């Protein structure tokens, strides 16, 4: 049994609630977003873009099987993207496979219902978390980079420490390390807001109300492309985040994010 | 023991989570929550932004080189074909329902009314966009001509095309019906509207998605309640596939 002195209060209640609510929202948004992408699995740059215009990314299927086109390059993705076998054994030719989408069978209308419900959870959850974290000084105390922290030598030291699976400063085990701070800042203050605003730019009603979004992102189809790229980066963050949790005493980390308390 | 638990968790994560979302998407109470987001978005948009804000209008050099058609490309009924063959000279736009003066307007009369020309972006619910130029009569002028009764709350657009046997229709509330860019377009890209794009007239409602832009409009009906039109959800795609009635999202 750990002594009380060896335990550390890592996460406040608000942070823990936001973390889990946001985790559910982001998974639902990624999967319902994949279904929405399936309705028109082509991405463009600019104000307009449809079947006769040049797509910079396309997922599809032809006689050779499923493919992903990136510019002029073709990647064979048969079995995973473009053409895949559904759980009932039938062969489908949608972009993302059923195990990656909500709902699992093609249904744009229902995917949109899921997406717009959890978009509200994501957006207002983030707003609450940001405001609360400013007032309880979570941002200033834990996110803010200290002087010299992003100097190349310091970043190098932190990267090497990560490779040695040393994630905590022994003198201050409750603090985030530099790469952790940078990735959280990127997600909380850049990627998720980017998702929200590029998502709003896809709404013709919001484009009329806030036309500066069209200028900011270079058009609705550019916003759609950026929405997709930012989603891919968030997925990458989640994967790295999960790997690091698994490498750094996963049960202890899980306990910390549920009860707030973890071992030193 | 540990392996069993892992298998259990793995099974829950893979089959359970996904199957769970599909089941949730079919459960009536949960659908009620999912479907209420449409009202939340409409309320937030209408409450926080300018209701009369205009959709972006583009320059002619920003237009799509090819504007694809979508939905029905030709109603193909004998009645419609007869109108095509006679250049819609015998066609009349019916305006009725909760109006003081029901109208039956020939196409030539619509074309002689004040025309709004706008180069706007058409956003399909599937995700693509195309920019085209539309020429048409503001819907407000027609509604003022007919004189809406105070009880009128929605305008229903009855169309000539049928999909799977069901007639296409759409509807708007009065905020969008009276919006300055809401027009009944009889022309596109400096030509008369083609059959593929909805001749003789189609609705343009520039702050909503493509399926609201009813093609082959035959009749406008002012109503106080959408429940009596079609299967009651205010539009063809709303009825058959649960798309949002408010398509400004």
When scoring A49, A209, A228, A251 by the number of chain B Cβ atoms within 10 A, the one with the most, hence best to mutate, is A209
The CATH code for residues B54-241 is 3.90.420.10
The pLDDT value recorded for residue A132 is: 95
DSSP A49-71: B-TTSPPSEEEEEETTEEEEEET
Q: What SS3 string covers A106-142?
A: CCHHHHHHHHHHHHHHHHHHHHHHHHHHHHCCHHHHH
The pLDDT value recorded for residue A264 is: 67
- Could you report the per-residue pLDDT of B102-122, keeping only the tens digit for each? 999 999 999 999 999 999 999
pLDDT score of B157 more than 60: yes
| B30 touches A: beta carbon within 8 Å | no
Which of B40, B248, B39 is CA-nearest to residue A124?
Answer: B40
| B240 touches A: beta carbon within 8 Å | no
- Could you report the per-residue pLDDT of A196-225, keeping only the tens digit for each? 999 999 999 999 999 999 999 999 999 999
For CA atoms B179, B184, B189, B194, the dihedral sign is positive
**pLDDT averaged over every residue in chain B:** 94
* CB within 8 Å: B56 and A211: yes
What residue spans define the domains of chain A?
4-41+107-263
The pLDDT value recorded for residue B91 is: 98
Higher pLDDT, B31 or A2: B31
Q: A95 with A38: CB under 8 angstroms?
A: yes
**pLDDT averaged over every residue in chain A:** 94
Rounded distance between C-alpha atoms, residue B176 and residue B213, angstroms: 12
- Could you report the per-residue pLDDT of A159-209, keeping only the tens digit for each? 999 999 999 888 888 889 999 999 999 999 999 999 999 999 999 999 999
Question: What is the nearest CA distance from A142 to chain B, expressed in angstroms?
Answer: 32
Tokens 């968790």 belong to B9
pLDDT score of B7 more than 50: yes
Helix/strand/coil for A237: helix
Q: Which residues contact A16 (CB under 8 A, 6 or more apart)?
A: A257, A258, A260
When scoring A108, A116, A204, A224 by the number of chain B Cβ atoms within 10 A, the one with the most, hence best to mutate, is A204
The pLDDT value recorded for residue A147 is: 85
Q: Which residues contact B150 (CB under 8 A, 6 or more apart)?
A: none
* CB within 8 Å: A50 and B206: no
Higher pLDDT, A249 or B80: B80
* CB within 8 Å: A48 and B25: no
What would the mean pLDDT of B74-102 be, rounded to a whole number? 97
Tokens 């219902």 belong to A113
| B33 touches A: beta carbon within 8 Å | yes
| B13 touches A: beta carbon within 8 Å | no
- A:B CB pairs within 8 Å: 145
Chain A residues interacting with chain B (CB cutoff of 8 angstroms): 28, 31, 36-37, 39-40, 42, 47-53, 98-99, 102-105, 108-110, 112-114, 116-117, 119-120, 202-211, 214, 220-221, 224
Residues of chain B with CATH 3.90.420.10: 54-241
For residue B193, the 8-state DSSP code is P
Chain B segment 182-221 residues within 8 A of A by beta carbon are 206-209
Cα Rg for chain B, rounded, in angstroms?
Answer: 21
Q: Which residues of B touch A51 (CB under 8 A)?
A: 68, 128
- Closest Cβ–Cβ partner in B129, B207, B241 for A48: B129
Which strands sit side by side in the sheet containing A42-43, from one edge to the other?
A: A42-43, A57-62, A65-70, A73-76
Higher pLDDT, B80 or B17: B80
* CB within 8 Å: A39 and B126: yes
pLDDT score of A67 more than 80: yes
Place A2 in a pLDDT band, splitting at 50, 70 and 90: very low
Q: What SS3 string covers B208-223?
A: CCHHHCCCCEEEEEEE
Q: Which residues of B touch A57 (CB under 8 A)?
A: none
Rounded distance between C-alpha atoms, residue A203 and residue B123, angstroms: 9
pLDDT score of B166 more than 70: yes
Looking from the CA of B165 toward its CB, the CA atoms found within 13 Å total 0
The length of chain B in residues reads 249
pLDDT score of A235 more than 70: yes
Homologous superfamily of A4-41+107-263? Transmembrane di-heme cytochromes, Chain C (1.20.950.20)
What would the mean pLDDT of A221-240 be, rounded to a whole number? 98
H or E stretch at A8: strand A7-9
Q: Which residues of A touch B131 (CB under 8 A)?
A: 47-48
Which stretches does DSSP call E strand in chain B? 92-97, 103-106, 116-123, 129-138, 154-163, 166-173, 183-188, 191-192, 202-204, 217-223
């Amino acid at each position: 049994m750990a002594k009380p002195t060896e335990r550390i209060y890592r996460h406040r209640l608000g942070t823990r609630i936001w973390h889990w609510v946001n985790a559910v929202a982001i998974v639902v948004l990624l999967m319902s977003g994949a279904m929405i992408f399936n309705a028109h699995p082509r991405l463009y740059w600019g104000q307009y873009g449809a079947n006769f215009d040049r797509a910079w990314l396309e997922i599809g299927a032809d006689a050779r099987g499923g493919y992903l086109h990136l510019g002029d390059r073709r990647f064979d993705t048969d079995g995973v993207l473009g053409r895949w076998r559904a759980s009932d054994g039938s062969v489908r030719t949608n972009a993302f496979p059923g195990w990656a989408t909500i709902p699992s069978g093609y249904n744009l209308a229902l995917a949109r219902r899921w997406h717009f419900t959890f978009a509200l959870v994501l957006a207002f959850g983030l707003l609450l978390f940001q405001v609360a974290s400013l007032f309880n000084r979570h941002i200033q105390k834990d996110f803010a980079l200290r002087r010299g922290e992003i100097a190349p030598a310091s970043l190098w030291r932190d990267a090497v420490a990560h490779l040695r699976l040393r994630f905590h400063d022994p003198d201050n085990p409750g603090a985030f390390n530099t790469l952790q701070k940078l990735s959280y800042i990127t997600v909380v203050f850049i990627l998720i807001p980017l998702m929200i605003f590029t998502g709003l730019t896809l709404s013709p009603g919001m484009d009329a109300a806030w036309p500066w979004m069209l200028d900011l992102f270079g058009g609705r189809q550019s916003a759609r492309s950026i929405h997709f790229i930012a989603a891919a980066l968030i997925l990458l963050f989640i994967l790295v985040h999960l790997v690091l949790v698994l490498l750094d005493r996963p049960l202890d980390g899980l306990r910390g994010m549920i009860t707030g308390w973890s071992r030193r | 023991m540990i392996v069993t638990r892992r298998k259990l968790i793995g099974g829950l994560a893979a089959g359970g989570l996904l199957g769970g979302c599909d089941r949730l998407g079919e459960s009536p109470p949960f659908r009620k929550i999912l479907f209420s987001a449409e009202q939340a978005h409409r309320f937030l948009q209408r409450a926080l932004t300018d209701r009369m804000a205009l959709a972006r209008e583009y320059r002619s050099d920003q237009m799509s080189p090819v504007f694809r058609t979508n939905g029905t490309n030709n109603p193909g009924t004998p009645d419609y074909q007869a109108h095509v063959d006679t250049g819609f000279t015998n066609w009349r736009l019916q305006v009725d329902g909760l109006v003081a003066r029901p109208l039956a307007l020939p196409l030539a009369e619509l074309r002689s009314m004040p025309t709004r020309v706008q180069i706007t972006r058409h956003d399909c619910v599937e995700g693509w966009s195309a920019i085209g130029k539309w020429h048409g009569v503001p819907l407000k002028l027609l509604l003022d001509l007919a004189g809406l009764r105070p009880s009128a709350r929605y305008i229903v657009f009855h169309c000539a095309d049928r999909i799977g046997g069901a007639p296409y229709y759409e509807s708007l509330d009065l905020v969008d019906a009276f919006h300055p860019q809401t027009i009944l377009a009889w022309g596109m890209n400096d030509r008369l509207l083609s059959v593929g794009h909805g001749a003789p007239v189609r609705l343009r409602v520039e702050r909503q998605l493509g399926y609201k832009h009813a093609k082959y409009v035959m009749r406008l009906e002012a109503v106080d309640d959408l429940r009596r039109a079609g299967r009651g959800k205010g539009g063809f795609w709303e009825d058959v596939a649960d798309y949002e009635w408010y398509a400004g999202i």
